[in-house]
Amino acid sequence: MPKAQQSASPSGGVLAAMSALILAVLLAALDQTIVSTALPRIAEDLNGFDDIAWVSAAYLLASTAVTPLWGKLGDMFGRKSLYLASTSIFLIASVACGLAQDLPELIGARVLQGMGGGGMIVLTFALVGDIVRPGERGRYQGMFGSVYGVASIVGPLLGGVFTDQLSWRWAFLVNLPVGAVALVIAARALPAATRRTAARIDYLGSLLLAAIATGLVLVTSFGERWGWTSPSIAGLIAATVLLAALLVPVERRAAAPVLPPAVFASRTVVFSSLIGFAANAAMFAVLVYLPTYLQIVRGVSATLSGFFMLPLVAGLVMSQTLAGRWAARAALLRRILLAGLLANLAGLLLLGTIGGGTGTLVLSGYFLVTGLGIGMVPMVVMTTVQNSVPTADLGAASAVVTFARSIGAAFGVAVFGALLNAGFAHRTRSLPVTGGFDPARPGTIAQLPAGLRDTARDAFAHATAAGYLWVAPALVAGTLLAVFLKPARTQGRAAEHQPPSVVRPPQAADAGSEESLPAA
C-alpha cells in the first residue's frame, strides 16, 4: 500500500473489530455493577440472605482463576475462536442466571459466567495487541478504561431501574442483545489464526494457578466475614502460599507453561503487574465506596449519586484520551504512568479530607483530580507490557497483568471495606443508642433519631476519608516502582514503522503466518 495511505487513521476493519471488543468489555464491566444493585432483591426472592455474597464472589473467583489459562490458550491456538467461545459461554450463563430458581442455581451459573467473562477480558486486551500496531495500542486500550468508568456509573442506575421497574433477572438477561451484536461483529471482523501449536496444555500449572486464585479471592471476599485471624482464613493464606511455591518448579518444567518463566523474567512485566495491582486497589476503593459515601452522608439516591460522580468519569475519559495519544511515543510511557499515579495519589489525599459538610463544588474538584489519575494508569500499564513481549507471548503477558489487576481490585474493595467498617464502628461506639443500630452495617444509620443520625453520618464521612488515607501508601509503592520501570523500546520501535494491522477474511491470510494480520 502506498505510504500516503498508511495514515494514523484506523481502517474500517480495525474499527469494526474494536467495536466488538468494546461491547464485550462493556458487558463484563456492567455485569458486576448492575448485579450489585440487584443483590438485596435477589436475596429476598431466592431466600438466600446468608449466602448472597457468593453471587458476586463466585463470578470474581471463576473469572480470576481462568484468566491465565484463556491467555495461554489464545497464544497456542489463536485468539478469535477462543474469544467467540468465551463470549458464548458468558451469554449462555447469563440466561441461566436470569432463569435461576434458587440461590445454588444462581451461584453455579455465576461460576460459569465468570469463566466466560474472564476469557472475554483477557482475550480482548490481547487481541488489541494483534490488530493494532504498538504506537496505537495506548489509544485503543484507553477506550476500555473509559468503558469501565462509564459502567461504574451507568451500571447501578440500570440495576435500580431493572430491579424496581422490571425484575432483577433483567440484570442478567440484558446481556443477550448486546452480546449477540458483539458476537456477530467479532465473527466477521476479528482476524483468524492459521497456526496451531502441537504443545501439550499445561494442565497441572493451570490447576495450581486456579487454586491460588481461589485462595486469594476467598481471603479477600470473606476475610472480614469469617474473621481475618480465624483458622479458615489463616489456613487459606497458608495453602495459597504453599501452592504459589509449588507453581514455580512446575512452570519451569512444563513444555508450554501457562505462565512462561520468560514473561516473569521481564522486569517490565513484573513491575507493571505490581503497579496494576496497586492502581486497581485504589481505583475500586474509589468507584465502589464513593457512591456509598454520597448516599449515606449526602442523603442522595443511587441515581443521583451517579450524577455526583460525573466529574470523576469526565476526568477519567479525558485523561485516557490524552494519554492514549501521548503513548504513541514509547519514550513517554513512563512519564505518563508517573503522572497518572501522582494525580491518583493526589486525588486520594484530597478524598482523605472529606467530611459531612464538604461542599458539592469541592467534592466535584476532588472527583475530577481522582478521575484524571485513574484514567491514565491501566492503559499505560497494559500497553507497556504488550510492547515489551513478542507476539507469541501476548496472551500470557496480558493475562498476568489482568490477573494482577483483578486481585488488586478484590483486595482494594475488601481492605477498604474492613477499614471503613472498623473506623465507623470506632467513631460510633459511644453513641447513646440501643436496639437495631449496628455500627458494622452503616445502612442502619437511617434507623437513628434525627440528631444522632447527623452524628453517625459525620462519623461515616470521616471513616471514609481515613480509609482513603490508608490506601494511599499502595499508590506510593506503585509510584516508586514506576520510577524504576524501563519500558522496552526495541520491539515497539521496530514495530512502530510497520503499517497498522487490518482485518481481512480468513481465506486471504498467508498460510504460513501465525495470525492473519497482514500489513496494509
Query: What pLDDT score was predicted for residue 506?
Result: 35
The mean of the pLDDT values for the chain is: 76
Query: What pLDDT score was predicted for residue 491?
Result: 45
Query: What pLDDT score was predicted for residue 345?
Result: 93
Instruction: Please state, as a whole number, how many other Cβ atoms lie within 10 Å of the Cβ of residue 244.
Output: 15
Over 80: is that where the pLDDT of 276 sits? yes
Q: Average pLDDT for residues 40-57, to the nearest whole number? A: 71
Q: Average pLDDT for residues 203-223, to the nearest whole number? A: 78
The span from the CA of 285 to the CA of 152, in Å, is 12
- Assign 3-state DSSP to the chain and report helix, strand, coil percentages, each to 5: 80, 0, 20
In this structure, which amino acid lies at residue 59? Y
The model's confidence at residue 507, banded by pLDDT at 50, 70 and 90, is very low
Query: What pLDDT score was predicted for residue 410?
Result: 78
- 254-286 as b/e: b if 16+ CB within 10 A: bebbbbbeebbebebbbbbbbbbbbbbbbbbbb
Q: Average pLDDT for residues 384-401, to the nearest whole number? A: 74
- What cell numbers appear for 52 in the block? 448472597
Over 50: is that where the pLDDT of 359 sits? yes
The burial of 8, by beta-carbon neighbours within 10 Å (0-12 exposed, 13-18 middle, 19 or more buried), is given as exposed
> 286 near 413, Cβ under 8 Å?
no
Give the least confident one: 44-48, 266-270, 451-455: 44-48
Query: What pLDDT score was predicted for residue 28?
Result: 77
Over 50: is that where the pLDDT of 515 sits? no
> Above pLDDT 90, what percent of the chain?
10
More confident residue, 410 or 325: 410
Over 90: is that where the pLDDT of 149 sits? no
The model's confidence at residue 2, banded by pLDDT at 50, 70 and 90, is very low
Q: Which CATH superfamily is domain 259-505 in?
A: MFS general substrate transporter like domains (1.20.1250.20)
CATH class of the domain defined by 11-191 = mainly alpha
> 475 near 341, Cβ under 8 Å?
yes
The span from the CA of 380 to the CA of 270, in Å, is 14
Query: What pLDDT score was predicted for residue 476?
Result: 93
Q: Average pLDDT for residues 389-415, to the nearest whole number? A: 77
Domain ranges of the chain: 11-191, 202-255, 259-505
Query: What pLDDT score was predicted for residue 3?
Result: 41
Highest mean pLDDT: which range of 122-126, 394-398, 434-438, 496-500: 122-126
Give the least confident one: 27-31, 144-148, 154-158, 286-290: 144-148
More confident residue, 146 or 315: 315
Over 80: is that where the pLDDT of 301 sits? no
User: Do 11-191 and 259-505 have matching folds?
Assistant: yes
Q: Average pLDDT for residues 47-74, to the nearest whole number? A: 75
Q: Average pLDDT for residues 196-209, to the nearest whole number? A: 72
The model's confidence at residue 391, banded by pLDDT at 50, 70 and 90, is low
Q: Average pLDDT for residues 227-252, to the nearest whole number? A: 84
> Above pLDDT 70, what percent of the chain?
77
More confident residue, 303 or 345: 345
